[in-house]
Structure 1
């Protein structure tokens, strides 16, 4: 009798094991497209972010103040797109927040104290510490949850988030992004409007100045001769000539400085727009994951309620945030001319 019961239990165990193996195989097969996409993410992230590190870190010379954080962001994105540990993901998020604060000071508070190299390095260390502090207790926030297959009447286990702390952290960071970049965007738009008004004003003033010059040229010949005599007498005075040359030199320096300031301001705004676009793409890519995490927290059977194909689609949205880690090199290529030129030159040398 005992042998028969043991045989029945062994048969049931074999049947259950076969069902579980079949279930795992079906799940793996349906997730193959997602795995292919992840492989593409890895390849693109490796190539693109490595190029960014090479160009911004070693090829672009001169003042790198506005581009200081780009190689570090590329390194964080490279790590996150390849191995995807949570501390690397948090590094990218908090580094973007530091960049937003840096751009806010540059654009909205240009006359006040800015981030020095010392503070930038301190901010980088702070990012690493916070990212590690949030990712270290990951085993506490995640665990195994039962997952039932209604069709086969078997129960498996899946990894799931047990706490909502990280979601709340990300929501706070997203809210900070929105506040900072709304203020930055408003300031840039206001500056562009002012520049446009100044350009219109200068264009209307030029004809008036030309008319005044014509009035001077239409003076009588006698007055012109008198002016010519006065100029000749002045030309004999070396001190006045030296002063005139000094004045011309000062005017030339003033014009050069004004032109340089205008160019620097244009570069600052261009780099700021690059970072704004990067942050907008981050929000677009990360918000689906945040929404799914919130729904998952409210409904313990969230993943079980989908069909296998539906679950694969939701998983694609859940992993869509990885796009944020691989798209940045494309943005630099289109919006940063210096980076684009260096990439083209590097490709010519390699070919």
Structure 2
């Protein structure tokens, strides 16, 4: 008859976790209770190494839930309908999903690193994480396209609210298609321990896919998609930055200067009642004819208005000989042109703040993924990388492996720093709540 006397194991795991206090029967007939007790001990022993990552995620979760709810309330209630508002609201929804579902699930999986035997919960966590990230990335591409058309092609037809919603719908649909495989490949993965007789479980690729290429192919597709999206974003914002740089270097010339006439249009941005309007000036003939680029729906552009533009010239050179009234109108047009030709020191920075804000959000999204990707690539190339980590190294690994959660929490901070109106509105909202 096999012995069932308990034995005290006194050794250390490859992560530097002491197992001295664990008692397991030295027999092949180990009871489930003894297995669960040993695995629970491993959970408790491993958790101190996870505490920095847990604290980091808990801070992001609280900040993200509070901040994204604030973004939704302020932008929906206080800002006028516009393509930018559509994008910002959708990004806030994706980030809120991450903070409410994915981050708590990630903390749960770290706390029960050897006893996470909940395949359905694992599938839900991984699905939500992947869906939120992919949807945010595709939405940021739509944002880049919108800013490119506004900055680099101001006289062309702009993205309307309806088109912005369609673009977000396409982003969500593509994300769903790419995310559905997570429900298939993720689940319960067997985790080996220092005792051959005992194995635990973690939330990762399901054991059913062990030895197959499908998980590797799936991760490769997501990686290639990230690289492709990154390339598109970089190219778009380089073009935007070049246009902004040229615009800032442009100096308006007096109307009497006839040496430099061009058929090109230059643009000047003006603001009225918090909305952004673009005025295009043509140097085809003298005097210059200003064209008001306005929306066919509500005549606004940018953060607080829609973007579909038309160009209405205020001075028609093909008209009949001028009457006295036309002379007065011409004088008023010249006055408008001369006033607009003087750069407004306040309007230019305000016109670029929306683009700067969305660019920073895109940059944060990209940068937050770099540590995560670097660690995944390192772990793939060096198979013993994880086994070589101990103590502080293992703590830092768990923090940086989850670096991509940063973008779900800091967007609200970016809005506050770059958008004075948003900052003012959420302050008013908080003051009203305390009263």
2:143 counterpart of 1:99: yes
Q: Is the 8 A contact 1:167 1:294 kept in 2?
A: no
2:371 counterpart of 1:288: yes
Q: Is the 8 A contact 2:86 2:161 kept in 1?
A: no
Pair 298,261 (structure 1): closer, same or farther in 2 beyond 3 Å:
same
Q: Is the 8 A contact 1:148 1:304 kept in 2?
A: no
Q: CA deviation at 1:275?
A: 0.9
Pair 291,304 (structure 1): closer, same or farther in 2 beyond 3 Å:
same
Q: Where in structure 2 are the equivalents of 1:286-325 lying within 5 Å?
A: 286-325=369-408
Q: CA deviation at 1:250?
A: 3.3
Aligned to 2:76: 57
Task: State how far apart, in whole Å, the 2-side matches of 1:330 and 1:319 are.
Answer: 20
2:180 counterpart of 1:136: yes
Q: Unaligned 5+ residue runs, structure 2?
A: 7-23, 103-127, 206-214, 258-321
2:246 counterpart of 1:183: no
More helix by share: 1
Q: Is the 8 A contact 2:74 2:422 kept in 1?
A: yes
Q: CA deviation at 1:166?
A: 1.8
Task: State how far apart, in whole Å, the 1-side matches of 2:236 and 2:173 are.
Answer: 23
Indicate the RMSD between aligned Cα atoms, in angstroms. 3.4
Normalized against structure 2, the TM-score is what?
Answer: 0.62
* Alignment match of 2:357 (pick from 274, 278, 281): 274
Which of the two has higher C-alpha Rg? 1
* Structure with greater contact order relative to length (CA < 8 Å, sep ≥ 6): 1
Aligned length in residues: 310
* Alignment match of 1:192 (pick from 240, 244, 248): 248
Q: Is the 8 A contact 1:45 1:78 kept in 2?
A: yes
Alignment deviations for residues 278-337 of structure 1 (CA, whole Å, 9 cap, x no partner): 111111111111122223333455433322542231111111211111111111111112
Pair 66,147 (structure 1): closer, same or farther in 2 beyond 3 Å:
closer
* Alignment match of 1:332 (pick from 403, 407, 415): 415
Q: Unaligned 5+ residue runs, structure 1?
A: 206-238
More strand by share: 2
Pair 151,288 (structure 1): closer, same or farther in 2 beyond 3 Å:
farther
Normalized against structure 1, the TM-score is what?
Answer: 0.76
Task: State how far apart, in whole Å, the 1-side matches of 2:245 and 2:89 are.
Answer: 28
